[in-house]
Amino acid sequence: MDDKTMNFLRERLGDTNYQKLIKIKNPNLYEFIAKYIELCNPDRVFVCNDSPEDFNYIRKSAIKNGEESPLAIPGHTVHFDNYYDQARDKKNTCILVSPGTELGSAVNTKDRDEGLREIHEILKNIMKGKELYILFLCLGPTGSEFSIPCVQLTDSSYVAHNEILLYRPGYDEFVKQGVSARFFKFVHSAGELDERKTCKNLDKRRIYIDLENEIVYSANTQYGGNTIGLKKLAMRLAIKRGSEEGWLTEHMFILGIHGPNNRVTYFTGAFPSLCGKTSTAMLEGETIVGDDIVYMRKKNGEIRAVNVEKGMFGIIQGINSKDDPILWKALHNEGEIIFSNVLVTEDKRVHWIGKDGDVPSRGYNHSGEWFIGKKDAEGKEIPCSHPNARFTLELSLLENVDPKLNDPEGVVVKGIVYGGRDSDTWLPVEEAFDWVHGIITKGASLESETTAATLGKEGVRKFNPMSNLDFLSIPIGKYIQINLDFTKDLEKPPRIFSVNYFLKDEKGNFLNEKTDKKIWYKWMELRVHDEVDAIETPTGRIPKYEDLQRLFKEVLNRDYSKEDYNKQFMIRIPENLAKIERIKNIYETQVPDAPEILFKVLEEQKQRLLKAREKLGDYITPDRLR
The CATH number of the domain holding residue 417 is 3.90.228.20
pLDDT digits (tens, 9 = 90+) for 318-377: 999 998 999 999 999 999 999 999 999 999 999 999 999 999 999 999 999 999 999 999
Q: Residue 47: which domain range?
A: 3-66+91-246
Domain boundary among 246, 268, 285: 246
Determine the straight-line distance between the first and last CA of the chain, rounded to whole angstroms: 72
Domain boundary among 191, 224, 246: 246
Number of domains in the chain: 2
User: Does 242 share its domain with 253?
Assistant: no
Distance CA(181)–CA(148), nearest Å, equals 9
User: Does 48 share its domain with 143?
Assistant: yes
CA distances from 176 to 55, 64, 142, 591 (A): 20, 33, 11, 43
The one-character DSSP state at 189 is: E
User: Does 479 share its domain with 505?
Assistant: yes
Measured from the Cβ of residue 596, the count of other Cβ atoms closer than 10 Å reads 7
Quick check: is 275 catalytic? yes
Distance CA(136)–CA(117), nearest Å, equals 26
Distance CA(578)–CA(588), nearest Å, equals 15
Helices and strands (DSSP H and E) totals, the chain:
17, 33
pLDDT digits (tens, 9 = 90+) for 467-486: 999 999 999 999 999 999 99
| Residue 297 is assigned to a structural domain of this protein | yes
195 CB-near residues (< 8 Å, 6+ apart): none
In degrees and rounded to multiples of 5, residue 252 shows phi and psi of -140, 155
457 CB-near residues (< 8 Å, 6+ apart): none
- Reported as a pLDDT band with limits 50, 70 and 90, residue 626 is confident
Measured from the Cβ of residue 279, the count of other Cβ atoms closer than 10 Å reads 19
| Residue 595 is assigned to a structural domain of this protein | yes
| Residue 376 is assigned to a structural domain of this protein | no
Lowest-pLDDT range of 115-119, 173-177, 247-251, 274-278: 274-278
User: Does 119 share its domain with 224?
Assistant: yes
| Residue 396 is assigned to a structural domain of this protein | no
485 CB-near residues (< 8 Å, 6+ apart): none
| Residue 557 is assigned to a structural domain of this protein | yes
Q: Which residues of 226-258 are buried (b: 16+ CB within 10 A; e: fewer)?
A: bbbbbbbbbbbbbbbbbbeeebbbbbbbbbbbe
User: Does 215 share its domain with 167?
Assistant: yes
User: Does 448 share its domain with 507?
Assistant: yes
Domain boundary among 228, 246, 264: 246
pLDDT digits (tens, 9 = 90+) for 48-82: 999 999 999 999 999 999 999 999 999 999 999 99
User: Does 263 share its domain with 195?
Assistant: no
User: Does 483 share its domain with 539?
Assistant: yes
Q: Please, is 292 exposed, middle or buried when counting C-beta atoms within 10 Å of its C-beta (0-12, 13-18, 19+)? A: buried
Confidence at residue 1, expressed as pLDDT on a 0 to 100 scale = 61
Decide: 329 and 383 in contact? Cβ < 8 Å: no
On the question of pLDDT at 461 being above 80, the answer is: yes
The residue count of the chain comes to: 626
| Residue 399 is assigned to a structural domain of this protein | no
Decide: 18 and 10 in contact? Cβ < 8 Å: yes
Where residue 42 sits, what CATH number does that domain have? Answer: 3.40.449.10
User: Does 283 share its domain with 301?
Assistant: yes
User: Does 205 share its domain with 273?
Assistant: no
Choosing from 40, 48, 150, 275, the catalytic residue is 275
Decide: 453 and 504 in contact? Cβ < 8 Å: yes
| Residue 481 is assigned to a structural domain of this protein | yes
Amino acid at 73: I
